[in-house]
Amino acid sequence: MDALATQPQVTVVIPNWNTKHWLRGCLEGLRAQSYQDFQIILVDNGSTDGSLAFVKQHYPEVQILAFATNQGFAPAVNAGIRQSHAKYVALLNVDTIPRPDWLLALVKTMERSPSTVGSLASKMLNLEHPDIIDDAGDVLSWYGSARKRGMDEPADAYDEEKEVFSACAGAALYRRTFLEETGGFDESFGSYLEDIDLGLRGQMLGYRCFFVPNAKVLHHSHGSGLSRSRYICLMTRNRLKLLTKNIPWPLLLKHCRTLIYGQIYFFLVYKRPLHSMAGTISWLITLPHTLRQRRNIQRENRISNQALDALLSNELGEIPLREILRRKVHKGLHSASSFLKRKP
């Protein structure tokens, strides 16, 4: 019998790094799935917390791919994808608990969708408050900001299947053909914004992404993330890389004021200038490689600049600088007033 014929329909790839305390909820959620034609590959990034021993003892059905050191999200999931031959690949963060019909909803939607639908986004719910949205598909703006659609809004307001910019890789389903044509996740991103980058490259190749409201997952946001300082460094570098790598020059020029405002905004609101500067320097060091990638991406681009322009949001999705400044001034005046009242 052909080995490929015996492959499961779906491979679920889970990256793990010292997050043993989340594994039981995630893996028990997968055991309880109503759809069972899948395999699990856990990609471990050099954990030292006993994660591997725990999985081997309690979840022997899970295949393990172990690295000696932390490779980052993108290299880890790419390794898991390469080890699989399934028609579809689902990515799942370790700090999630998938609801029983999560995978069934994704597979049924993908099976009835045209081949141009390359990825599907799950309805990610706040783990502590499941009536609140954590992520209902991702949005990229012309400020360079990426945000979670619907975050902190009522979950019942997101019950409609809808086309979105891209899927959060914390709980998503991808066609293998989509991953092969896009080349998968860009490993030079390491962690953060790699799923936005993949979604953008997919859009530029003519692929589409849809949000599936019945594919529900509970998620503890940043439950498996890095330190704040490392996060800022990587986000700064990867935001700049995302823009310079993918956006055509005419659109960069058209939106240059908005893009510059966005970079100044994040430099100020992160409040860690040294780490923001470290991220910028890291971007400059990798710029020659990014520009080589850019040439290939622009050569393969199948959509017009007008269509690409419409894909990105014109909303910052954050509190504006003027509002932040107004609040600081108000707080300062209040403190000064309180101090003067206390004086004898």
Annotate 260-271 with b (16+ C-beta within 10 A) or e (fewer).
ebbbebbbeebe
**Dist. CA 98–CA 333, nearest whole Å:** 48
Which of 132-136, 190-194, 334-338: highest mean pLDDT?
132-136
Return the pLDDT at 35.
98
**Dist. CA 27–CA 13, nearest whole Å:** 11
Whether the CB-CB separation of 78 and 52 falls below 8 Å is answered with no
User: pLDDT at residue 264 above 60?
Assistant: yes
Whether the CB-CB separation of 290 and 244 falls below 8 Å is answered with yes
User: pLDDT at residue 185 above 90?
Assistant: yes
Helix orientation angle between 194-204 and 228-246, rounded to the nearest 10 degrees: 10
Rounded-to-5 percentages of helix, strand, coil across the chain: 50, 20, 30
Percent residues over pLDDT 90 in the chain: 85
Whether the CB-CB separation of 97 and 217 falls below 8 Å is answered with yes
Return the pLDDT at 317.
81
Find, among 119, 88, 269, the residue nearest to 201 by Cα: 119
Return the pLDDT at 338.
61
Whether the CB-CB separation of 223 and 175 falls below 8 Å is answered with no
Average pLDDT on 178-185 reads 97
Which of 3-12, 201-210, 308-317: highest mean pLDDT?
201-210
User: pLDDT at residue 330 above 60?
Assistant: no
Return the pLDDT at 191.
86
User: pLDDT at residue 132 above 50?
Assistant: yes
pLDDT tens-digit series, residues 218-246: 998 765 557 889 999 999 999 999 999 99
Average pLDDT on 76-96 reads 96
Return the pLDDT at 322.
73
Range from 11-20, 116-125, 194-203, 314-323 carrying the lowest mean pLDDT: 314-323
User: pLDDT at residue 176 above 80?
Assistant: yes
Average pLDDT on 191-195 reads 93
User: pLDDT at residue 116 above 60?
Assistant: yes
pTM flag (> 0.85): yes
Which residues, in sequence order, are bridge partners of residue 225? Answer: none
User: pLDDT at residue 344 above 70?
Assistant: no
Whether the CB-CB separation of 9 and 27 falls below 8 Å is answered with no
CA 296 to chain centroid, in Å, comes to 23
| Band of residue 2 on the pLDDT scale cut at 50, 70, 90 | very low
Which residues, in sequence order, are bridge partners of residue 166? Answer: 138
Range from 135-149, 180-194, 313-327 carrying the lowest mean pLDDT: 313-327
User: pLDDT at residue 1 above 50?
Assistant: no
Average pLDDT on 115-134 reads 97
Find, among 154, 97, 152, the residue nearest to 122 by Cα: 97
User: pLDDT at residue 3 above 70?
Assistant: no
Look over the chain and give the mean of its residue pLDDT values, rounded to a whole number. 92
Beta-strand pair 133-135/138-140: unpaired
User: pLDDT at residue 305 above 90?
Assistant: yes
User: pLDDT at residue 297 above 60?
Assistant: yes
